[in-house]
Structure 1
Amino acid sequence: MKFHKLGRTGQDVSVICLGTMTWGEQNSQAEGFEQMDYALDQGVNFFDTAEMYSVPPRAETTGSTERIIGEWFKARGTRSKVILASKVAGASTFTWLRDNGEPTRLNRAHMTEALDKSLKRLQTDYIDLYQIHWPERPVPWGSNPTAFQVHPQSETTTIAEQLDVLDGFVKAGKVRWLGLSNESAWGAMSFLKESDTHGLARMQSVQNAYSLVNRTFETALAEVALREQLGLLAYSPLAQGYLTGKYRNGALPAGSRKALFNRLQRYEKPGADIAIEAYLDLAQEYGMDPATLALAFVNTRPFVTSNIIGATTMDQLKTAIASINVPVSSDLEARIEAIHQLHMNPAP
């Protein structure tokens, strides 16, 4: 395994991070245990989850992933071996996450309830990296669109207020470090400025979508990541399975996320299919598994702290973890860039 420093914490985290959002929906507790056992044995020390997991979010399964991880910690005695990341939900219409039935917001009451529930489900006294899952202010999903749109403004909890609450969690010892997710360059710099101005706990990472077909992180946030040590935790590096080739030529494998939930529209926008085909053809030309090509690309970006991989089978997990040892040659890099220039960011 290879390791990078998490922000300015001094903590080494594995370049491969174990994503967990299928546990409790597509994967059973036993399968989650098997994945965690294998990942830890392969040197993966970084796991990522969220209060609302498993996905797709619904009342019946909310918190199930954290409960599975908590049971694994209890059964294996492995809490001290894992850098654990979780997330608090941003603004949403979900009414089942809070005891009072209110839609989620990033205010003190909601965030405190969220953290305390996560700690209980995870059977731990602390979370290493606590992230805001998405902003409270009105922004497009992912916060990094290819075209700017004005979103109606509404009253929201200020960044200063949010950070004050999170800083309190750190001071109380319930959280070690803080992170962002689905955030923009403006949002990231606003949090950092607030921390620097008032001496509050600093954001250490930003978890955004990043893949061969969605490189919008590079337009502004990559510089922030490098200059401010706010590294990218890249999610959906396989474009929710599209870059594996599993959906090629209209295929719809039984048990796949598309077959079960039909929630892959982010990767089905006009032009995405042409770009995906180009990358699948490139992998074939180089004699590579297409999933390995896509993962190796993300692994080797200088602004990436960790690549969050998700799997529903052990074979998928083994392929994903093994990608850490695959280099991207200068020739292959040039070919990737040529495709990118022709088919730039079709799936932001």
Structure 2
Amino acid sequence: MKMNKLGRTGIDVSEFCLGTMTFGTQTKQDEAHAQIDRALAAGINFMDAAEMYPVNPISAETVGRTEEIIGNWFEKTGKRKEWVLATKHSGAGFAHARNGAMISAQTIPEAIEGSLKRLKTDCIDLYQFHWPNRGSYMFRQNWSYDPLKGGMSRDEVIDQMEDCLGALQREVERGTIRAFGLSNESAWGTAQWLAAAERVGGPRVASIQNEYSLVCRMADTDLAEMMMFEDVGLLPFSPLGAGFLSGKYQSGAVPDGSRMSINGDMGGRKSERIFDAVDAYLAVARNFGLDPVHMAFAWSARRPFVASSIFGATTLAQLEHALGAADVTLTPEVLAVLDATHKQHPMPY
């Protein structure tokens, strides 16, 4: 398994990261533990969670269960040190934790303590902010994005960042976290976090976890430039386009237990345009003798600004299939055709 640097932290992570957002709903504990075992055996050393997980669906009764399942695996196996462990602070808009309070110097210690307890560990390797306090254009909000919708002034945004960095630095000194990352963030926001860390101290941003795939390439321009020049690694989530790029939803198919069987519109991703785009990508895979799942995962993981591509699997069989991407090399010819296909089908959801 290829290893990459995580920003400037000195931490090495595998080019694929085990996503865990279904652990506790679609994926029960025994199956989840089997996935952790198999991923580790395949050379994956990076695992991503969040305090709000599992999803599909999110409910007050299940919040934190994913972290608990991971913690139970650590307790059972004693192999905590073999993993680079990432999790996230939810923040504004998530009513099931701290009544939806914004991420702040006050909420950070409480959120970290909760995650540490559930994960049965004394340190989180990468602590991420799940959403910017000021709002985000991710999850199809880009179509009607208003940067000022959150009602915060520039000074308020910067003041909050500096306060949060102070709290994060205290956690670094306490030994509860090692590195800091963002999620659902923009180029401007990341640049401000980097500048604030230079001014007031605190951990430097190491990574950004945003949606990124052959059918969602918003990170390819301004964000890519910032990441390349500032040594901030992208952690793509949904590199399979929420499963669309596997082809399993073509021709009206809705497999039992799939995300679409639970969430019919796929969080706003379902449209005629996505099915046309997927047909085109499936044709590329077919023409070059590639498995479409492997093609999509390999593409996302090998982009020059990507540190590790996050894939989740509901079942062990799906995980086993996905692992084959590690052995796939995409030729310059394939990459050129994928770019041409993207130009024909830009942002299909």
- Runs of 4+ with deviation above 4 angstroms: none
Distance 2:144 2:330 in 1: 30
Of 233, 237, 240, the residue aligned with 1:238 is 240
- Is 1:131 aligned with 2:166? no
The answer for the alignment partner of 2:107 in structure 1 is 110
Q: Give the alignment's TM-score, normalised by structure 1.
A: 0.94
Summarize deviations over 1:72-112 as a string: whole Å, max 9, x none. Answer: 000000101100000000211x33212xxx22311223222
Deviations 1:130-180 (A, max 9, x none): 000111113323598367534423356622222222222112111000000
Could you tell me whether the CA contact under 8 Å between 2:91 and 2:100 is conserved in 1? no
Alignment of 1:1-348 (within 5 A): 1-55=1-55, 56-92=57-93, 94-98=94-98, 102-141=99-138, 145=142, 148-155=145-152, 158-262=160-264, 264-269=266-271, 271-347=273-349
Q: Please state how far the C-alpha of 1:6 moved relative to its aligned partner.
A: 0.6
2:181/2:206 contact within 8 Å kept: yes
Indicate conservation of the 8 Å contact 1:145/1:216, yes or no: no
Cα distance in 2, alignment partners of residues 153 and 235 from structure 1: 24
Aligned residues: 343
Q: Is the 8 A contact 1:184 1:221 kept in 2?
A: yes
CA deviation map 1:24-66 (0-9, x unaligned): 0001110011000011111100000000000032101100000
The 3-state SS of whatever aligns with 1:258 is: helix
Give the Cα–Cα distance (whole angstroms) in 1 for the partners of residues 215 and 268 of structure 2. 10
Going from structure 1 to structure 2, the CA distance change for 1:148 and 1:21 (only over 3 Å counts) comes to: closer
Contact 2:23 2:54 in 1 (8 A): yes
SS at match of 1:31: helix
Q: Distance in 2 between matches of 1:33 and 1:15?
A: 21
Q: TM-score, normalised by structure 2?
A: 0.94
Gaps of 5+ in 2: none
- Structure 1 residues 110 and 71 mapped into 2: Cα distance closer, same or farther (>3 Å)? same
Give the AA of the match of 1:20: T
Contact residue 242 and residue 267 of structure 1 kept, 8 A: no
Contact (CA 8 Å) 1:59, 1:96: kept in 2 or not? yes
What is the distance in 2 between the residues matched to 1:247 and 1:154?
39
The range that moved more, 315-324 or 174-183, is 315-324
Percent identical among aligned pairs is 43
Structure 1 distance, partners of 2:70, 2:198, is: 34
Question: 1:142 touches 1:208 (CA, 8 Å); kept in 2?
Answer: no
Q: Unaligned 5+ residue runs, structure 1?
A: none
**Alignment RMSD (CA, Å):** 1.7
Matches of 1:194 and 1:115, distance apart in 2: 22
Distance 1:66 1:312 in 2: 16
Cα deviations by residue, 1:327-347 (Å, 9 ceiling, x for unpaired) = 111111111011111111223
